[in-house]
Chains A and B, each alone.
Chain A
Amino acid sequence: MKESKQLLLANQAWAAELTDEDPTYFAKSVRTQRPKFLWISCPDSRVAPEVITQCSPGSMFIHRNIANQVNLDDINLMSIVQAAVETFEVPNIVVCGHYGCGGLEAALKGGTTGAYDRWLGHARQVVKDHCDEIDCHSDDEGKLNRLVEVNVRDQLINLARSEPVAAAFAAGKNLTLHGWIYDIRDGLIKPLLKINRTTDLASIDKPGRVLLPTAELEAELVA
């Protein structure tokens, strides 16, 4: 069977199964949506937000871009943040990086061209800003792991400074920003930091380590 056909058939089955359970399911979903989360992550096919958090349709507003960048000049993302915060009044925004991020690896090592290369300019700034944090690791995995962590921290701070979020904070709204990292080695999301309206953005420290070196992680998994 053609792969595209498999998707279409799976979709038919999915719709039939849901309707079977609740005949009004799609009628209800037409009326409105009430997402509790805006999720910003990398388009990596292994980072499937609704799958890894077992969310059903309707629970997440999603934006994905390479290396989960929050660039205040990115009109695409900014419009989404605005809609999420102002229209849906989501109480949570997640920026979720992930282990082995190909975009950040390219930002670290170079070799990119074209639009991809231009997009990574923003990420290369993170590398530059934290070169001491990153270069102190001797191995490639350690360097990339640390970059994944500091990148989430920086992007989360960018997000906190974005106009819609800053306005919501100023208005005293109940909004929390979560910096998370999804570890594709064990399937677990590892929380890195949190920002809300009481957080002093200037005093946010460098984040702790959540991505263990593979050898250590495997030892932990065995134990």
Chain B
Amino acid sequence: MSTGIFSSWRADVPASFVVALVALPLCLGVALASGAPLFSGLIAGAVGGIVVGLLSKSPLSVAGPAAGLTTIVFAAIERLPSFEAFLLAVMLGGLIQMLLAATRSGVLAEFVHSSVVTGMLAAIGLILIMKQVPHAFGYDGDYEGDFAFFQQDGRNTFSAMWHAVSTSISWGAVLVAVAGLAFLFWWDKNKPQTGALKFLPGPLVVVVFGVLANTLFAAGAPGLSIHPEHLVKVPVAEDLNAFLGLFSLPDFSMIGEAAVWTTALTLAIVASLESLLSVKAVDELDPKRRTTPKNWELFAQGGGNFVSGLIGGLPVTSVIVRSSANVNAKADGKLSTVLHGVWLTLGVLLIPAVLNLIPLAALAAILIHTGYKLTSPALFTKRWGQGYTQFVPFVVTILAILFTDLLVGIGIGLAVGFVFVIARNFRTAITFACDEDDCLIRARRNLYFIHKQELQRELARVPDNANLLIDLSSTNYVDLDNVDIINSFIKGAKYRNIAVTVRGDLAGRTAPLIDAPNAEEAFA
């Protein structure tokens, strides 16, 4: 099998257009919400595609400016003396991420409860649908790509939907969104399996349709015409020089500023977490179920932030909405994500005026369709079928993300998931056997920290005047807390006339820590 980046170009090229179209308003929306120049979002989008795409070993993950970082970025830009100082922090954050990769911190991502990962996907799907409904109705009060329950426009997810439907409905937008959505679901089922049309992405059709429809509205039915504020708004540069003027360099003189470093550290940690979770989730969405090397991904993301900061862009992370749009558009390799960065750059450079004809409602249709794919009912029934230890963390993660925001919600999900993992992984480890005065406490597997209570309970069963053998021969690890418990039992045993002998583990790690005579070895 060919593994070159171009080997899957037939699938990747069409998908890359879809991802670029989806990414465009998200890049602008995140920049807007971050209180940063709009163009910095587009730079981050391009870098997320080209730089991270080239460095990463993930076949389907797409990186770019992330909604999860907006609050941090917003606060940092307010606090730091200049936007250029913030750019320095982004760059340094990238370096820190690469350092984290050097310490192999990325492997930590493998220890996330799978229900939390799928819960996150489902929640993002639901949020995507709910947050896009206002856009579909022509209300754009909230920025594109928001995940927080409480929005910056003072509304929350639900009230914004109601507001859009009740007061600011734009029939032209509704028409484009509904027709687009209907087409996408129809195309899913009826897309030709052979021929050139096989590679025609549905979302592309929806965007072209949206632009044409709005042009027709303007000509024939001005009442339906979608106002410019409901269209994509890419900064338009007059010429190449003006375009280059949109880039900015970090202010390296700020390197001694403590706030720059704290921002860099915060960005590095949060962006790493978000990227790792996102990449893990995208691996789950991959029809081929390829596994991305997580630590390497940390390095790739760090490289992305380094470059993005260097040329005036926002911080990047791996992002799920764009990645799942990528999966949905049937991309197969990382050429798609790289090209999406190229198209973003070329589009903004060459045809900004054309891009600005695209109605947000058309993009809403695409994102609602993507959201539906992420939150399919099958996901819920599958988790339900796996029992409560999978279902509860899954649902808790969804609800927590839905009613707080992505980062806090994931934090809650991780905590709950962790409790369930411990509970699910706990197995009793100790056997007690007694024949008159002779008693045996046998550890049939390792005595971990979680076995403390069991060890105390079983030791409590030993009667006074007993000959007790503590058999640790089937362990190769006894937690130090458990050693303490055994030792304090031995201290008390003197007063209860209990004689304790220990049969240690094979490697002889534990027995020397215990104050009791050792049972003899078979070979000596």
Chain A residues close to B by CB (< 8 Å): 18, 21-22, 25, 28-29, 31-35, 54, 56-59
Contacts and interface: CB of A to CB of B under 8 A. Distances in A.
Please list the 5 inter-chain residue pairs (A to B) with the smallest Cβ-Cβ separation, ordered nearest first: A58-B522, A21-B506, A21-B507, A28-B523, A59-B522
30 contacts: A18-B506, A21-B476, A21-B505, A21-B506, A21-B507, A22-B506, A22-B507, A22-B508, A25-B506, A28-B523, A28-B524, A29-B523, A31-B523, A32-B523, A32-B524, A33-B522, A33-B523, A34-B520, A34-B521, A34-B522, A34-B523, A35-B522, A54-B442, A54-B473, A56-B473, A56-B522, A57-B522, A58-B521, A58-B522, A59-B522
Interface string B504-524: 011110000000000011111
A33 B505 CA distance: 19
Contacts of B523: 28-29, 31-34, 58
Contacts of A21: 476, 505-507
Contacts of A28: 523-524
Contacts of A33: 522-523
Contacts of A22: 506-508
Per DSSP, chain B at the interface is: loop
Contacts of B473: 54, 56
Quick one: which of A18, A21, A25, A32 has the most chain B CB within 10 A? A21
Per DSSP, chain A at the interface is: loop
A58 B521 CA distance: 9
B523 to A, nearest CB: 4
A132 B523 CA distance: 47
Nearest to A59: B522
Interface string B253-274: 0000000000000000000000
Interface in B450-487: 471, 473-474, 476
A143 to B, nearest CB: 30
A59 B473 CA distance: 13
A106 B471 CA distance: 40
Interface residues of B, number: 14
Interface of B: 442, 471, 473-474, 476, 505-508, 520-524
Contacts of A29: 522-523
Nearest to A26: B523
Contacts of B508: 22
Contacts of A58: 521-523
A57 B524 CA distance: 13
A22 B508 CA distance: 8
Nearest to A27: B523
A192 B268 CA distance: 71
Quick one: which of B471, B505, B507, B508 has the most chain A CB within 10 A? B507
A221 B213 CA distance: 79
Contacts of B471: 54
A25 B505 CA distance: 12
B477 to A, nearest CB: 11
Nearest to B503: A56
A59 B524 CA distance: 12
A54 B473 CA distance: 10
Contacts of A25: 506
B195 to A, nearest CB: 47
Contacts of B521: 34, 58
Contacts of B524: 28, 32, 34
A18 B523 CA distance: 14
A21 B520 CA distance: 18
Nearest to A25: B506
B321 to A, nearest CB: 46
A54 B443 CA distance: 12
Contacts of B474: 54
A127 B51 CA distance: 88
A25 B507 CA distance: 9
Contacts of A31: 523
A83 B90 CA distance: 78
A216 B506 CA distance: 41
Nearest to B524: A34
Nearest to A191: B435
Nearest to A57: B522
A22 B505 CA distance: 10
A88 B474 CA distance: 26
Contacts of B442: 54
A22 B504 CA distance: 12
A141 B473 CA distance: 38
Contacts of A35: 522
Nearest to B471: A54
Given A21-B476, A29-B523, A56-B473, 6 more contacts: A25-B506, A34-B520, A54-B471, A54-B473, A58-B523, A59-B522
Nearest to A60: B522
Contacts of A18: 506
